[in-house]
């Protein structure tokens, strides 16, 4: 790449302080009042109502303009492919949610239709998702543990687990928490709180999904080994579960273990072959569907349930269920879980939606996505669905097979409807170990995210710490508590970074009006008699004291010590003068003749013995990185100006943004003695003003 040609230029103008800039630029004081903003917000006109309605129901805006010839075939093939994927994933993820597999199929039908109407992303595939399912499972198993449904048997020491009642209660709990999470999402969307996802950074989300995948794997071990470990909840529950599983390995069902191992090996091999054949075959091979068909046939022919004690899916009722009101009595015990589900589900969906929106040049409305997911979950909860989000694997299949709009999602829902009405009961003999194996294999991508640690170590170590801590916190706590702790830790890192900014003394690049840190450049020189100080962060209560300490250290002048020393010298001088006056008075009384008294020698203030650094003529504070000032920040600047002024050093401020100046005005920084004449738009203006003895008729000549 050829070097950019340096173009010299010359600027000639008066040095301008803040008042001068306001006059030249004719600063506008026009502000819209709160009443006017409110009236404008509630004003309803015909075009505005139409725009709001179409933004609330995007289907009415894009469906009439749907390019049938260009998109229909791709959406049809994509919808069928994704619908086929929904069958095994929906049933498998239902196990994570601790509900019967058929409810995973319901969750792959109703919410998708709602999102088709209200969603704005053309490419993401919403439906069941492993992380959401394991969060649901933690709620259902906590509020409806197996121990609550144990009934005594005929024998004295025997007990029986009432599976039917347990599953019915867990379905009710899952539907209720899903309904409540949908209400949270809907409310956040209506009040335009889509920005809440900004608190979920990419390292945090990736680490969280990785930790959730570990929870998923541990929760499925019981299906792979055919054991029944005790349910644990609260902090360290995953550790206790692993210890319990290890203790029960001696009771492993060999038939179940063999089914698990064979299925995992077969799935991994088939997926590798499918990836190799993807270049030649335009449509992906439905490996998971083929796997559950073969497993169901083998289980039925060999009677694995009876002969080898392999646990199977069981009854899958055909048809759809009528809506059921949520259990209001349970809402109070799941508020935190529901909010965590709302935030995590939205964060994953909007992150993936924005990736494809950027790739295919369209816009995803973050607030409308909240509304769409909220309606999908709240309405889905009425039909006994559990919380949904976006799946990366299904989304990639939807895009790779030609899906170009939300129509592909609607077609996939139709495929699930056909399965629910006609085909679902054929999979009643499917071993649950096969569904667990499907989950393990689908989590390969999340496990590969451990590679983020090495890449983040090279690029940003703070983000790496956030990644590692999120993983640890989520593994040690439940996913809901882990999310809250991870967000808190991530925010703390931001606070710490503002508390530990880089403080610099600036110098001038020779022959320019550019000022850079003197420690970073060899040719940058300080201006004699002028110290230019800058912090890389904003100034507020958390770092105000450190700002002053750094200023004292960088300038080499501790004003507090200097003033204290001056006060001591002044007090010493006054004492000597008073003592000399008393002595002179006594001597005058003794003299009978009138004589003039001898002159009293004045005591001059000596230099501070603690420092040999000469005082600068002026200090310029570069506040260009400061984007806001709180009351502590304003007070800090006021004290700096006052203390250095008493020490004989003039302080100037430059690069102040409008909000900073307004904060200073409200904080009574300015008065009759301190005016806006100490504010300058640039460092160079302030330097020239100081160099020319505070004369504003200075011409600036800059050659670059």
Q: Is 262 a residue whose pLDDT tops 70?
A: yes
Confidence (pLDDT) at 531: 92
Angle between helices 366-382 and 110-118 (to 10 degrees): 150
Alpha carbon distance, N-terminus to C-terminus of the chain: 22
Contact between residue 623 and residue 654 where contact means Cβ atoms under 8 Å apart: yes
Mean pLDDT, rounded, for 158-166: 83
Q: Among 115-119, 332-336, 389-393, 698-702, name the one with the lowest average pLDDT.
A: 698-702
Tokens 């749907």 belong to 66
pLDDT of residue 4: 54
| Residue that the structure tokens 């999120």 belong to | 470
Tell me the C-alpha distance between 54 and 39, whole Å.
22
pLDDT at 697 over 60: no
Residue 700's pLDDT band, with cuts at 50, 70 and 90, is very low
Residue 547 confidence (pLDDT): 92
C-beta of residue 590 within 8 angstroms of C-beta of residue 620: no
Give the model's pLDDT for residue 458: 92
Question: Which residues lie below 8 Å from residue 35, measured CB to CB, with a gap of 6+?
Answer: none
What are the pLDDT digits (tens) for 494-518? 888 888 889 999 999 988 889 999 9
Answer with the residue of higher pLDDT: 45 or 56: 56
Closest CA to 236 of 223, 224, 218: 218
- Please give the Cα distance from 159 to 148 (Å, whole number): 12
Taking the C-alpha atoms of residue 214 and residue 439, their distance in angstroms, rounded to an integer, is: 11
Separation of alpha carbons 320 and 326, rounded Å:
18
Q: Residue 375's pLDDT is what? A: 95
Strand ranges (DSSP E) for 386-517? 389-390, 503-508, 515-517
Specify the residue for token string 């009642």.
165
CA-only gyration radius of the chain, Å: 36
Task: Provide mean pLDDT across the span 53-72.
Answer: 88
How many angstroms from the chain centroid is the CA of residue 41?
29
pLDDT for 701: 43
- Mean pLDDT is lowest, of 141-145, 520-524, 592-596, 623-627, for 592-596
* 370-394: average pLDDT: 92
Q: Determine contact, residues 476/239, Cβ cutoff 8 Å.
A: yes
Express each pLDDT in 6-19 by its tens digit.
677 777 777 878 78
User: Which pLDDT score, from 0 to 100, does residue 646 have?
Assistant: 83
Q: With beta carbons less than 8 A apart as the criterion, state whether 378 and 182 touch.
A: yes
> Helix/strand/coil (H, E, C) string of 339-384?
HHHHHHHHHHHHHHHHHHHHHCCCCCCHHHHHHHHHHHHHHHHHCC
The whole-number pLDDT of residue 154 equals 67
221-246 exposure pattern, b = at least 16 Cβ within 10 A, e = fewer: bbbbbbbebebbeeeebbebbeebbe
Digit-coded pLDDT (tens) for 105-156: 999 999 999 999 999 999 999 999 888 898 898 899 889 988 888 887 666 6
* Per-range mean pLDDT, top range of 420-429, 574-583, 631-640: 631-640
- How far, CA to CA in Å, does 322 sit from each of 173, 385, 410, 694? 17, 12, 21, 82
**Residue 671, pLDDT score:** 85
Using 50, 70 and 90 to split pLDDT, how confident is the model at 599?
Answer: very low
Joined together, the tokens standing for residue 590 give 């003794």
- Whose structure tokens read 């020490």? 647
**Per-residue confidence at 354, pLDDT binned at 50, 70, 90?**
confident
pLDDT digits (tens, 9 = 90+) for 411-447: 999 999 998 888 878 888 889 899 888 888 888 888 8
Return the pLDDT at 597.
Answer: 46
Buried b (16+ CB within 10 A) or exposed e, 337-373: bbbbbbbbbbbbbbbbbbbbbeeeeeebbbbbbbbbb
What pLDDT, on a 0 to 100 scale, did the predictor assign at position 85? 85
State how far the Cα of 311 lies from the Cα of 257, in Å rounded to an integer.
11
pLDDT in tens, 553-562: 888 877 767 7
Mean pLDDT (whole number) for 554-580: 73
Decide if 343 contacts 93 (C-beta within 8 A). no
pLDDT on residue 600: 39
Please give the domain boundaries of the chain with CATH numbers for all domains. 73-150+162-232+245-449 (no CATH), 503-562+615-696 (3.30.750.24)
């Amino acid at each position: 790449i050829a070097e950019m040609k340096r173009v010299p230029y010359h600027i000639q103008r008066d040095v301008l302080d803040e008042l001068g800039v306001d006059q030249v630029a004719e600063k506008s004081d026009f502000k819209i009042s709160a009443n006017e903003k409110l009236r404008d917000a509630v004003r309803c006109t015909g075009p505005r109502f139409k725009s709001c309605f179409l933004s609330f129901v995007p289907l009415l805006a894009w469906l009439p303009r749907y390019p049938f010839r260009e998109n229909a075939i791709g959406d049809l093939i994509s919808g069928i492919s994704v619908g086929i994927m929904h069958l095994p994933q929906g049933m498998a993820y239902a196990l994570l949610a601790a509900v019967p597999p058929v409810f995973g199929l319901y969750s792959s039908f109703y919410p998708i239709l709602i999102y088709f109407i209200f969603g704005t992303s053309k490419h993401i595939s919403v439906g069941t998702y492993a992380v959401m399912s394991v969060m649901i499972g933690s709620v259902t198993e906590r509020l409806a543990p197996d121990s609550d449904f144990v009934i005594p048997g005929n024998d004295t020491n025997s007990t029986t687990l009432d599976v039917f009642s347990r599953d019915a209660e867990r379905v009710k709990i899952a539907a209720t928490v899903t309904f409540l999470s949908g209400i949270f999402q809907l409310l956040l969307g209506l009040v335009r709180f889509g920005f809440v996802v900004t608190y979920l950074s990419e390292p945090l989300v990736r680490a969280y999904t990785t930790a959730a995948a570990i929870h998923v794997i541990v929760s499925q071990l019981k299906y792979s080994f055919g054991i029944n470990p005790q349910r644990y909840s609260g902090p360290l529950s995953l550790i206790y579960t692993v210890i319990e599983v290890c203790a029960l390995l001696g009771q492993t069902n060999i038939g179940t273990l063999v089914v698990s191992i064979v299925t995992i090996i077969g799935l991994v091999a088939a997926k590798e072959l499918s990836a190799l054949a993807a270049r030649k075959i335009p449509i992906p091979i439905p490996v998971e569907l083929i796997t559950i068909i073969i497993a169901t046939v083998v289980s039925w022919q060999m009677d694995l349930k009876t002969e080898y004690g392999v646990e199977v899916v069981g009854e899958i009722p055909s048809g759809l269920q009528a809506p059921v009101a949520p259990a209001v009595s349970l809402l109070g015990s799941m508020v935190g879980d529901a909010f965590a589900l709302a935030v995590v589900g939205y964060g994953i969906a909007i992150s993936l939606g924005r990736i494809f929106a950027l790739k295919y040049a369209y816009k995803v409305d973050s607030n409308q996505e909240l509304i769409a997911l909220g309606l999908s979950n709240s309405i889905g909860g009425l039909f006994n669905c559990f919380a949904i989000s976006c799946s990366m694997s299904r989304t990639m299949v939807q895009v790779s097979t030609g899906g170009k709009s939300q129509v592909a999602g609607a077609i996939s829902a139709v495929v699930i409807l056909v399965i629910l009405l006609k085909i679902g009961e054929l999979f009643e003999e499917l071993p649950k170990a096969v569904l667990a194996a499907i989950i393990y294999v689908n989590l390969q991508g999340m496990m590969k995210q451990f590679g983020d640690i090495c890449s983040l170590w090279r690029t940003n170590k703070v983000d790496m710490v956030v990644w590692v801590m999120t993983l640890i916190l989520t593994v040690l706590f439940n996913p809901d508590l882990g999310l809250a702790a991870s967000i808190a830790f991530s925010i703390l890192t931001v606070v710490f970074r503002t508390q530990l900014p880089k403080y610099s003394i600036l110098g001038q690049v020779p022959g320019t009006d550019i000022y850079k840190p003197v420690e970073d450049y060899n040719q940058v020189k300080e201006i004699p008699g002028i110290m230019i100080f800058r912090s890389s962060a904003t100034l507020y209560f958390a770092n105000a004291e450190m700002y002053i300490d750094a200023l004292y250290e960088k300038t080499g002048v501790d004003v507090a010590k200097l003033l204290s020393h001056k006060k001591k010298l002044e007090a010493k001088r006054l004492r000597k003068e008073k003592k000399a006056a008393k002595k002179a008075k006594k001597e005058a009384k003794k003299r009978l003749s009138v004589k003039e008294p001898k002159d009293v020698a004045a005591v001059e203030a000596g230099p501070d013995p603690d420092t040999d650094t000469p005082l600068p003529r002026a200090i310029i504070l570069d506040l260009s990185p400061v984007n806001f000032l709180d009351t502590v920040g304003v007070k800090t600047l006021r004290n700096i100006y006052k203390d250095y002024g008493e020490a004989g050093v003039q302080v100037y401020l430059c690069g102040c943004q409008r909000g900073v100046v307004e904060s200073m005005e409200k904080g009574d920084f300015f008065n009759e003695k301190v005016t806006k004449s100490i504010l300058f738009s640039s460092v160079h203006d302030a330097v020239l003003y100081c160099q020319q003895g505070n004369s504003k008729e200075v011409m600036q000549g800059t050659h670059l």
